[in-house]
Amino acid sequence: MRLIKGLIMVIGVIGIIVVFALLLGYYLYSLSPQIQARLIPVSVSAEAVQSFDQKIDELENQIEAAVDAGQNKEVSLIITESEVNSKFVQMLAEGELPMLKRILINFGDGYFLIYAVVDAPGIDAKTGLMGQVEAVEGEPKIVIDEFNLGKLPIPKSVDKRVEQLLNIIVSLQLPEVSLDITSVEIKDQQMTVNAIAGTAN
């Protein structure tokens, strides 16, 4: 009988510990990630959205012209912090990103920072990312240096899982055009993508 009572007490204590851990995890999950403190606000505007759209249109026209001519052509795309953040604000307002409630992107010296609030059941998930973008075999590859989910302690292995997921998403979103990305440079609050467009690659 004493053994049974002892086992019941142990199970009860374990249950209390599990509940406490879940509540603590829930609380840490709801807090702002450390990366958020490193980001600075970025001004957004309708003019920046228009500039973003024009740059994308111009790039697509250059690619199409190179393909039609059957020649290779060096092309580049320069996107500023203001342009990319303004575009995301527009997309959020139009309901094109239903899983996101807020996003802020900073371009540093060779790296990017992202803070995003994800619409999740029960409580919003506040996430932070620090990473780089590389050109690998003609395609962009995201390299995650740090990933935050609230203030939950996350093992480094999760960074790789997030990195793999993001690269799958990026690859699925890439347009089916003849474009080999040669380099991606991030500095001075902007990202520059250099590539070769055409059919003779």
pLDDT tens string 148-186: 887 877 777 777 887 787 777 766 666 566 778 899 999
Rg (CA), the chain: 22
C-beta neighbour count of 103 within 10 angstroms: 18
CA distances, 198 to each of 73, 114, 173 (Å)? 6, 32, 20
pLDDT tens digits along 93-120:
998 888 888 989 999 999 999 998 888 7
For residue 96, the 8-state DSSP code is S
Pick the most confident of 2-11, 161-170, 171-180, 188-197.
188-197
**Three-state DSSP class for residue 92:** helix
Reading the block at residue 150, the tokens are 């609230």
* Separation CA 171–CA 180 (nearest Å): 13
For residue 58, the 8-state DSSP code is H
